[in-house]
Structure 1
């Protein structure tokens, strides 16, 4: 191969973007559905990593959060709110109940249904896990201004709760 050809190839390689940069700048990098899915995957991975030190994952943390917040949800309400299959909610509740973090109690408004309530141990664990989750959130959003952080939360609420 001639030296001029080798030099030209080398220059082209230097100006070519790396694989990740090229993919980020592709048509998919501007697709809102893809960006939401990628952001979700990144945040879930980071959240699950930090919540693991509390024996939780994002889904079990969500159930515990609602029980600790005195929302007193039924399992059906949880399934709808968290967009999970009811069988997944049963497994999550069973796991938290086995650890004595939540209790099923009869719903005073409908004695056929149970509501979920956090135990004292569940409230304590939730408070610790919430601190860890907030730290991860702040780390992930470190490049975002506080105003943009609030705006992002507002926009995501609009998407998550269109009614």
Structure 2
């Protein structure tokens, strides 16, 4: 993290509460990791003028696939109206553009613009650096890869 980046406080050390059943509860642990990850991502994205949700949408639309708004909503488990609001915001920034889906004239696909691609690349570097220095700092590269594979298996 840069010197201006805040330190993320991970809270009470597990040895002080090791008698709680929550430490064996997968849903609680995943929720805690998500909360810590979202907090660190918020701090990393703030200088880029992005929020976690807008970063997630930008990440999807700057990839090789041009998803529809519905695809984005389903993948991120968001209400379609939330996706419309985020896409509107990103479009105002010049980061995305809507185009008619050639497979379905009623649907819009979302594409990252050149400006959006550049903004995403910078934001991604910040998110990765912050994540590596906070939430994943105690994991080896091999453990990080294993964690990713396990989460993919559970998520999909």
Normalising by the smaller structure, the TM-score range is: 0.7 to 0.9
Runs of 4+ in 1 over 6 A off after TM superposition: none
**Structure number having the greater helix percentage:** 1
SS at match of 1:69: coil
Query: Which of 131, 136, 144 matches 2:139?
Result: 144
CA drift at 1:94: 0.7
Q: Which has the larger radius of gyration?
A: 1
Q: Could you tell me how far apart the structure 2 residues matched to 1:55 and 1:120 are? A: 17
1:63-102 correspondence to structure 2 within 5 Å? 63-102=57-96
1:155 equivalenced with 2:150 (yes/no): yes
What is the aligned length? 144
Query: Which of 109, 121, 124 matches 2:115?
Result: 121
1:49 equivalenced with 2:76 (yes/no): no
Whether contact under 8 Å (1:29, 1:35) holds in the other structure is: yes
Q: TM-score, normalised by structure 2?
A: 0.87
SS at match of 1:112: strand
List runs of 5+ in structure 1 lacking aligned partners. Answer: 1-17
List runs of 5+ in structure 2 lacking aligned partners. Answer: 1-11
1:62 equivalenced with 2:76 (yes/no): no
Cα gap change, 1:24/1:73 in structure 2, threshold over 3 Å: closer, same or farther? farther
